[in-house]
Amino acid sequence: MSGRVFALALLAGLWAAPAGARAPDDDAACRRCHAGLEGEFFTLANGDTLPAWVTPEEHFGSVHGDDIGCRDCHPTVGDHPHAPPAAADARTYRIQASAGCTDCHFKHATALRDSMHYERLMNGDDAAPTCVDCHGAHGVQPAAVPRQAVSDRCGACHEEQVRDWRASAHGQAVLAGNEDAPVCADCHGAHAITDPRAPAAHAASFTVCARCHGDARMMTRHGLDPGVVDSYLSDFHGASNRIYEALGDAPKAPVASCGDCHGVHTVQSFAGLSDDERAARAAAMCQDCHREANDDFATAWGSHTPPSQQHRPIVWIVGLVYKLMIPLMIVGLIAHILMDLWRTPGRDREEGLS
Ligand code: HEC
Ligand code: HEC
Ligand code: HEC
Ligand code: HEC
Ligand code: HEC
Ligand code: HEC
Ligand code: HEC
Ligand code: HEC
Ligand code: HEC
């Protein structure tokens, strides 16, 4: 229910704007008293308790530091003794207090409004996140420093996904300091998160991976093949998904996108696998949809690597023969028609004479 309060405040900018620039000194009394309340809690109507103290280290050490005072974010809290808070429980308290952030960060608040998280709040689901769930309140720090902090924040609610991600090639790379490998927000965005499982999102989901895996410079940096996106798109699955995407249509059964084979949160490296291990892993990928698939089914498919003299030379030779034969056939056909045309009037002449 309180989700709606926040949602409506976001929608209409209902939150009372903090009154212009305020001398930080205005807050000296609030700060002094609250710094001294260390270890004390206060109780809300339903019995939830919240900490009453705010330490100077937390307040001044945050990105807002000295510039933003207590009253900028708590415009409705008057001098002490305060009136009891309007919120009856801790969750409602947080959701209501988050509305204060939207005043100064209009751009991010507007983006959040396009998300399914916001839609959930609007529908009264208080478990969906507000600004404070992802950023904190008094100790706000740059959100993506270090990068894995982004995944940790999301992971507070999405435990399964963050566990998978940490064990994946992407997560392992990020944890080892790789600046290119993705955290949650690289694939989902941070504020305008939409439902990634909608059928239309599925057909287009390769674009999420293509941003990096189609970036030749980035992939070369990590010793990976930059051609995987092109080969996917020219293959049956990619071509099929592209047609569905163009038609704005959903296939009857999902056609494989990158994530169906590799997993999205469980992406694993192929480095160091023997040929047999590769074949077994590839077959396991296909079996989700092609039930009858065995190792041969997977190896018969050329994976991402287009045929070449080294890789599947017979297919390469057949392709080459096609490339030579087709122009030859066309030239031969045209020559045949031209010769026939040249001959026909002559024959008519001969027939006319006889
Ligand atoms: C004399 C000490 C004192 C001063 C000065 C003081 N507070 Fe408080 N404040 C408290 C205590 C104690 C609580 C715990 C709840 C209660 O007893 O009202 C509290 C609770 C709060 C709360 C949480 C409850 C709510 O109503 O949302 C906020 C926010 C707050 N104070 C902000 C401020 C601000 C802003 C100022 C400066 C204008 C300020 N305080 C000045 C002692 C103080
Ligand atoms: C950047 C905005 C911002 C600033 C600046 C700010 N607060 Fe808060 N405050 C919040 C939000 C948001 C919450 C709700 C936090 C939550 O639910 O976890 C909150 C909660 C509180 C609470 C309730 C206990 C808690 O932590 O949930 C107290 C007490 C409080 N603030 C006092 C202060 C005082 C005193 C100052 C100045 C030293 C201050 N705040 C500065 C945004 C701010
Ligand atoms: C009174 C205006 C105001 C309020 C209210 C406010 N902020 Fe800020 N916020 C700022 C300013 C100003 C900056 C510094 C911007 C900069 O240096 O780029 C900032 C910086 C930030 C940053 C870091 C930006 C960066 O580029 O690193 C985050 C994250 C942030 N705020 C989140 C919040 C959250 C969450 C709340 C509510 C709890 C909030 N802000 C409330 C004014 C505000
Ligand atoms: C679901 C989690 C989530 C929610 C909810 C959320 N943010 Fe963010 N926010 C992030 C992440 C993650 C980033 C890091 C930037 C990125 O990767 O796009 C970020 C970036 C920012 C920044 C830029 C600072 C930076 O370090 O890049 C500001 C300012 C900000 N958010 C404010 C807000 C405000 C205000 C709200 C509420 C209206 C909000 N955010 C709600 C996760 C969230
Ligand atoms: C405070 C908890 C919370 C936080 C933090 C949070 N989420 Fe969510 N998220 C939810 C809830 C609740 C839903 C609604 C779907 C559900 O019931 O699982 C949701 C849904 C989603 C969905 C859609 C899933 C679906 O089933 O349609 C995605 C994607 C998502 N979140 C990504 C993120 C990302 C990325 C972050 C960090 C930037 C994040 N979330 C942070 C609570 C959270
Ligand atoms: C490499 C890109 C990528 C990364 C990184 C990523 N996701 Fe996802 N996520 C996706 C895609 C694509 C889907 C849609 C999967 C599908 O089609 O079923 C998805 C689905 C989801 C869902 C819906 C439920 C599910 O599991 O299918 C949630 C929730 C979610 N992601 C949260 C997260 C969180 C939290 C993180 C960070 C720990 C994260 N994601 C990291 C790409 C990513
Ligand atoms: C933000 C950039 C980025 C995005 C988005 C991204 N990746 Fe990656 N991916 C990387 C980087 C960088 C590596 C190399 C990590 C390393 O060095 O271990 C990698 C590694 C991989 C690997 C392991 C390759 C190997 O054999 O070692 C696979 C498989 C993979 N990604 C698939 C995907 C899929 C599928 C998606 C989309 C769902 C995706 N990636 C989205 C950057 C990205
Ligand atoms: C039909 C299943 C399938 C689809 C769809 C698929 N892949 Fe792959 N991918 C594989 C297999 C199998 C391998 C192992 C290749 C090998 O051993 O030759 C692989 C290998 C890779 C590698 C490692 C390449 C290297 O240099 O070692 C990356 C990165 C990758 N895929 C990314 C992607 C991306 C991005 C997409 C979507 C644009 C995608 N894959 C679509 C099955 C698939
Ligand atoms: C997410 C499900 C899914 C996965 C995983 C998948 N496929 Fe497919 N595949 C399809 C669908 C659906 C079609 C039919 C596409 C169409 O015609 O629109 C298809 C078509 C094909 C075709 C074309 C011939 C035919 O049967 O229509 C081949 C060959 C094929 N897949 C091989 C593979 C191989 C090899 C793998 C594993 C490396 C794999 N597929 C993984 C769903 C999948």
Summarised one tens digit per residue, pLDDT across range 121-160 is 999 899 999 999 999 999 999 999 999 999 999 999 999 9
Ligand 9: centre distance to CA 43 (Å) = 58
Q: Is the distance from CB of 347 to CB of 341 less than 8 angstroms?
A: no
More reliable by pLDDT, 343 or 214: 214
pLDDT reading at 263 higher than 90: yes
Give the number of C-alpha atoms closer than 13 A to the C-alpha of residue 308, restricted to the C-beta side: 6
Buried b (16+ CB within 10 A) or exposed e, 29-68: ebbeebeeeeeeeeebeeebeeeeebbeeebeebebeeeb
Cβ of 86 less than 6 Å from ligand 1: no
Residues with CB under 6 A from ligand 3: 18, 63-64, 67-68, 72-73, 100-101, 103-105, 131-132, 135, 137, 140, 142-143
Ligand located closest to 236 CA: 9
pLDDT value of residue 128: 95
Q: Tell me the average pLDDT across 270-294.
A: 87
What is the CA(177)–ligand 6 centre distance, in A? 21
Q: For residue 114, which phi and psi values (nearest 5 degrees)?
A: -90, 5
Cα distance between residue 83 and residue 238, in whole Å: 61
Which of 54, 80, 98 should be mutated for ligand 1, with most atoms under 8 A from CB? 80
CA dist., res. 185 & res. 178, Å (int): 15
Average pLDDT over residues 253-264: 92
Select from 239, 240, 250, 253 the least CA-distant residue to 291. 253
Per-residue pLDDT of 179-222, as tens digits, reads 999 999 999 999 999 999 887 788 788 999 999 999 999 999 99
Q: 116 CB under 6 A from ligand 5?
A: yes
Residue range 4-63, pLDDT digits in tens: 656 655 554 444 444 444 445 678 899 999 999 999 999 999 999 999 999 999 989 999
pLDDT at 346: 60
R_g of the chain computed on alpha carbons: 31
CB of residue 258 inside a 6 A radius of ligand 8: yes
pLDDT of res. 21: 46
Mean pLDDT calculated for residue range 292-308 = 78
